[in-house]
Structure 1
Amino acid sequence: MERTLNNLMDVDAEYAAAVERLFAAMNGIGEKRTYKNNEAFFDFKSNEQNILLIESGAFGFYRQNDRLLMQETFASAIFGLVMVSHKPEVILFAHSKLSVKVVSRDSALRIIEQEGLWHEVAIVLGKIIKVYVERDMNLIARDAYHIIKHHLYLLMSLPVEERYSTTAVKFITNRSMLSRSRVMDILKKLNDGEYILIKNGILNKIHSLPEKF
């Protein structure tokens, strides 16, 4: 049956199923690897031409020169469908125990072509585009409050065990260039004003965040 995407940016509902179909198609190939929390497992400067199927765990994209966390991704996920021509100074670190299947890019693309899975690839790439567009809209040329507001909603969206594993201050400072003192000051004011509920540094609830602060 012919399938179409009305809008590449409207991919949330189809993303999980698309990833599952791609994983299933590559079930019989590749090499399984595991990584420990905080272990680096991919450097963009390397010449590896592989696709990584992230089966379980979480990982982050870090800028090499200052270790700024640029993006965090959770399983199930596929990395490497598009290879950039230049070699960005970005390293991937595991944020938990990570289970990964490594498939040669040529083998993966051959299976995608044979199985007619370009629709699924389009959904995955559309999801990636959406994540980065939303991140840039919230972080570029915005004041400190809007950056913090964006990260509070991001933190609140995490599974409870993930959210309770880090303080709100650490979560935000690791993902932005804001100073710890600035983040702490705004969070304290939001907490005092009952816009959010933070206990022992952990974000428990967002009541209602104002548009401006």
Structure 2
Amino acid sequence: MDKMVDNLLDVETQYTAAVEKIFTAMNDIGKKHTYKKNEIFFDFKCDEQNILLIESGTFAFYRQPDRLLIQETSAPAIFGLVMVPHKPDIIISAHSKLSVRSVPRESALRIIEQEGMWYEVAIVLGRIIKVYVERDINLIARDAYHIVKHHLNLLKSLPIEERYSTTAVKFITSRSMLSRSRVMDILKKLNDGEYIIIKNGILNKINFLPDKF
């Protein structure tokens, strides 16, 4: 039992296999859609009863009134396993060309039950929780520097072509409530201190980001 619990909590290493198993089981049902970059493909205000299997691409959750970016996620991913009890002002937009399979919720749940895939569902939901807990730890009740530090690490983790397609200032301000001037001031000091290397606004390298600054 203890070994099973340990494995269940290891959501990061088991996530890809769990998603692939669910994808394979639902490969022959639902409808496949392709979305262009910046195209909105889900609105929480709509009463959709589908599970979305994000097969390729990058997408993000935005707060609709002010278009504040809440969270960015890459495929493979599954969305809709948990029903939202209310209708928040949140939309999901493609950040790149996106391939999505839309599966009726009842059909998806029936297959999950028939194939005994609740363990895989738990892994997927566990990773979602992990991502949002980490995000809250980094963004709630932290000072401006820690918010900038968190987003610099996110920016660094992106593929080179994506990292070079946006400035560090734009990347951070679009994902936080920090002002442009505050972000620029912190980035300038980090760059001057050679903690990071920024050229023409683009993050080239992170040498070292201290715990306090």
Q: Give me the TM-score of the superposition, normalised by structure 2.
A: 0.96
Q: CA deviation at 1:84?
A: 1.2
Measured in 1, the distance between the counterparts of 2:84 and 2:45 equals 11
Alignment: residue pair count: 211
Residue of structure 2 equivalent to 1:27: 27
Residues 166-188 of structure 1, C-alpha deviation per residue, up to 9 Å, x if partnerless? Answer: 11111100000001111011001
Question: What is the alpha-carbon distance in structure 1 between the residues aligned to residue 161 and residue 108 of structure 2?
Answer: 34
2:107 aligned residue: 107
| Structure 1 unaligned spans of 5+ | none
Give the direction of change, closer, same or farther, for the CA distance of 1:192–1:14 in structure 2 (3 Å limit).
same
Counterpart CA distance in 1 for 2:5 and 2:160 is 33
CA offset at residue 160 of structure 1?
1.6
- For 1:73, the equivalent position in structure 2 comes to 73
1:9 touches 1:129 (CA, 8 Å); kept in 2? no
Counterpart of 2:57 in structure 1 is: 57
TM-superposition CA deviations, 1:88-139 (whole Å, max 9, x none): 1100111111110000010000000000111110000000000000000010
CA distance in 2, matches of 1:5, 1:17: 17
Q: Given residue 208 of structure 2, which amino acid in structure 1 is its aligned partner?
A: S
Tell me the CA shift for residue 5 of structure 1: 3.5
Q: 2:152 maps to which residue?
A: 152
Gaps of 5+ in 2: none
Closer/same/farther in 2, CA of residues 161 and 96 from structure 1, 3 Å limit:
same
Identity of aligned residues (%): 78
- Look up the match of 2:130: 130
State the match for 1:171 in structure 2.
171
Query: 2:89 is matched with which residue?
Result: 89
TM-score, structure 1 as length reference: 0.96
Q: Contact between 1:9 and 1:127, CA under 8 Å: does it hold in 2?
A: no
Measure the CA separation in 2 of the matches of 1:9 and 1:36. Answer: 35
Partner Cα distance (2:181, 2:9) in 1:
36
Quote the offset at 1:8 in angstroms. Answer: 4.9
Q: 8 Å contact 1:173–1:183 — kept in the other structure? A: yes
Q: Which amino acid aligns with 1:145?
A: Y
> How do 1:182-201 and structure 2 match up within 5 A?
182-201=182-201
Question: What amino acid is the match of 2:65?
Answer: N
2:128 matches 1:142: no
CA distance in 2, matches of 1:50, 1:156: 34
Q: Which amino acid aligns with 2:16?
A: A
Tell me which residue corresponds to 1:12: 12
CA contact (8 A) 1:9 1:130 kept: no
The match for 1:204 is 204
The code of the aligned residue for 1:144 comes to: A
State the distance in 2 between where 1:205 and 1:8 align: 35
Distance 1:178 1:86 in 2: 28
Instruction: State the AA in 1 paired with 2:123.
Output: I
Equivalent AA in structure 1 for residue 93 of structure 2: F
CA distance in 1, matches of 2:9, 2:58: 23
